[in-house]
Structure 1
Amino acid sequence: MDPVEITPVDTAATADASVNTAAPTAPAAPDADDLLSELLQPLRLAGVFDSRWHVRAPWAIEGDAAERCAVLHFITGGSCWLTGEGRTPIRLRAGDLAVLPTGSAHRLADHPERRGGAALCSVPPRRGPGPAGATGIGGSAGPESRLLCAGLRYDESAATGLYQALPWALVLDRAQVEQEPLLRDTLRLLAAADRPVGPGDRLVTLRAFEMALVLAMRNLLRDLAADPASLPVLRHPGISKAMVVIATRFAEPWTIESLAREVGMSRSAFTAAFRELVGEAPARHLTGRRMEEAARLLGETSLPQSSVPPRVGYQSAVGFHLAFRKWYGMTPGEYRAGSLSAA
């Protein structure tokens, strides 16, 4: 059977495509940090909504599911329970940080069985991104707690199959947060009632939350790497190596066969395992990585548009143009113009 190309449908690309004919070898285990970087690299925030809550029992806060939005809850005082439909309740205490990578629907409350309550998005008044004063809810005499809650909207390139496969909620306890002074101090500053406000505050807040999220995820993912049941791809030598190859060598003329050989697997076993562990086909994952890099080059550099295709694995400008438009819903030129306008 002829190799199935996962570079663009383009005669020039097909003519130039090379296939690795070396005999299969056992895949070397990739550096864990390489794979973690592949997950963390796309985490660039496009917007932040944050609020501080001062609550007294009985109380509950309902958070709806949010697409392409991570949710962060930092407990600055007291304690609470984090629950979700069909999820095991998680007890959070002062100093703990909970991260919901994909913004799953959830509930914060003084008791795991508490229902109803205020909507997380109902921070008065209605407003654009930015900080808000403390919102008080609940009773008047019960135990009190204080929280920093934030919805962190990330660039759509972060929503890879691997990222979507992360557990619904990840928690760093107080001791783990304290071991990361930069994370600890950033969270405390963001949670402070008298947080400094001045020129460029919105951008500073955005980047501060972005740093807090990446620092937290770095620690959480390292813990996951030691627990194959939590994220099996991190312990599969072939698929984890393929993830690193795609992340770092996306400009090469890969086929499914050559990728499978690169990691010492048969084509069928590689394709099946990749779909199961990553959540999408290897061809789509490779295309996503190429499109992510193309968008970065168009939006953040002055590189001529004609120089972008070969840097992301396309031998033909037409093939790249069609692939980019299908992925983003706009042409490369329109994307660059929009990025310049936003800047």
Structure 2
Amino acid sequence: MSPDLLKDRPADLLDELLAPLRLEGVFASWWEARAPWGFRGDQEWNALLHYVRSGECAITMPGTSEPVILRAGELAVFPYGAAHEIADRPGRATSPLDLLLPGRPIGSATEIRVDGPGPLTELLCGGLHYDEAGMSPLYRALPEILVLDGEMLASEPLLAGTLAELAAPTRYGAAGDGAGHGAAGHGAAGAGLVASRAFELVFVLALRVALSRLSDLSPALQALRHPAIGRALLAIQSRFAEPWTLESLAWEAGMSRSAFATTFSRLVGEAPARHLNGRRMREAARILVETATPLSAVPERVGYRSAVGFHLAFRRHFGVPPGEYRRPRAES
């Protein structure tokens, strides 16, 4: 395999990893906050983005003592919306974010102003809603927070340029009431759709930069970067219906059976067979919910040669048989 092809494989795998999430929309907010200020948000099943346009802020994760200081031109990504506090400085008392931004509905854009006597911080924040059922164990194993500094953002000009465009709220119709409370505004035609697609682009490009520059932070990022394990993961994600065995996956990776099994389990966090089965089950659930494919055709679509084996595996994974899984969703 040529070096150029090898270099491109992580991006292909990232595409396959993110595609099942099916991003559904974004809630965007633009902040002008003068110290003192501090807010805390609970776990959200969204991908979250915080970009500092000017000034700085402190981010603290539950159970950690060392805050992350985010400075102008830096981006923090929370792949699965981990709970955190954000304030003008470490140790600041915080209020629940829900008091200021209740609900945060998909498709809305809001400008927030917090008045105070201290320094100004300008923030761009986005919450990208996705289908939690499409989240793989590998995605869940990503770090709770990924921080991209200015140099990292500059390495991906499209990411840096998109963030710079998004950071100006009036381009996308956000409007505040000037008294510390935001309200969805109305901008140019199609502004909401443009903003949604732009935030999705930022999210994907940020993960790509993290994959290439921050892989030492977690086994999951190392797995995505690992040339051999990455090939096996790409095969599982995109060719899950094939009759894979441990031996054939090891061959795909170009490793011995034992070395492949050990390395895969260490980096991915579960054995190859379990990871493959999880991918097949997520696809089966998607087919059952989103299509009218006959139940009898689903096993073969996801790589099972035995309908009985598929039904047993599905019930173990989801706690209900496939027909029962489909029924309440069809009736809702």
| TM-score, L = length of structure 1 | 0.73
Do 2:28 and 2:110's aligned partners in 1 also have CA atoms closer than 8 Å? no
Greater Cα shift, 164-173 or 183-192: 183-192
Matched with 2:132 is 156
Partners of 2:301 and 2:112 in 1: CA distance: 49
Matched with 1:141 is 117
User: How is 1:1-343 mapped onto 2 (pairs within 5 angstroms)?
Assistant: 31-46=9-24, 48-66=26-44, 68-84=45-61, 85-86=63-64, 88-111=66-89, 113-126=90-103, 128-131=105-108, 133-137=110-114, 140-174=116-150, 177=153, 179-181=156-158, 184-185=161-162, 188-189=165-166, 192-193=169-170, 195-196=172-173, 197=186, 208-224=198-214, 231-301=221-291, 303-329=293-319, 331-333=321-323
**Structure 1 residue 312 displacement after superposition:** 1.2
Do 1:177 and 1:184's aligned partners in 2 also have CA atoms closer than 8 Å? no
Partners of 1:301 and 1:44 in 2: CA distance: 15
**Structure 1 residue 237 displacement after superposition:** 4.2
Q: In 2 relative to 1, CA 228–291 (structure 1 residues): closer, same or farther, beyond 3 Å?
A: closer
**Structure 1 residue 145 displacement after superposition:** 1.2
Percent identical pairs in the alignment equals 50
**Structure 1 residue 136 displacement after superposition:** 3.4
Determine helix, strand or coil for the equivalent of 1:136.
strand
Partners of 2:192 and 2:67 in 1: CA distance: 34
Partners of 2:222 and 2:101 in 1: CA distance: 42
Greater Cα shift, 197-206 or 94-103: 197-206
Do 2:222 and 2:267's aligned partners in 1 also have CA atoms closer than 8 Å? yes
| TM-score, L = length of structure 2 | 0.75
Which structure exhibits the higher relative contact order, with contacts defined as CA atoms closer than 8 Å and separated by 6 or more residues?
1
**Structure 1 residue 160 displacement after superposition:** 2.3
Q: State the AA in 1 paired with 2:311.
A: H
**1:101-142, CA deviations, whole angstroms, 9 ceiling, x for partnerless residues?**
13233232222x3232122333345564442533334x6221
How many residues are matched? 312
Q: In 2 relative to 1, CA 300–313 (structure 1 residues): closer, same or farther, beyond 3 Å?
A: same
Determine helix, strand or coil for the equivalent of 1:108.
strand
**Structure with greater helix percent:** 2
Determine helix, strand or coil for the equivalent of 2:59.
strand
Greater Cα shift, 55-64 or 147-156: 147-156
Q: State the AA in 1 paired with 2:22.
A: R
Partners of 2:104 and 2:15 in 1: CA distance: 34
Do 2:284 and 2:298's aligned partners in 1 also have CA atoms closer than 8 Å? yes
Partners of 2:192 and 2:324 in 1: CA distance: 26
Root mean square deviation of aligned Cα: 3.8
Q: In 2 relative to 1, CA 272–244 (structure 1 residues): closer, same or farther, beyond 3 Å?
A: same
Q: In 2 relative to 1, CA 239–125 (structure 1 residues): closer, same or farther, beyond 3 Å?
A: closer
**1:62-120, CA deviations, whole angstroms, 9 ceiling, x for partnerless residues?**
23334x43221122333223333436543323343210113233232222x32321223
Q: In 2 relative to 1, CA 166–227 (structure 1 residues): closer, same or farther, beyond 3 Å?
A: closer
Q: Which runs of 5+ in 1 are unaligned?
A: 1-27
**1:252-275, CA deviations, whole angstroms, 9 ceiling, x for partnerless residues?**
222334433443545444333222
Partners of 1:235 and 1:157 in 2: CA distance: 24
Q: In 2 relative to 1, CA 267–176 (structure 1 residues): closer, same or farther, beyond 3 Å?
A: closer
**Structure 1 residue 226 displacement after superposition:** 8.4
Matched with 1:20 is none
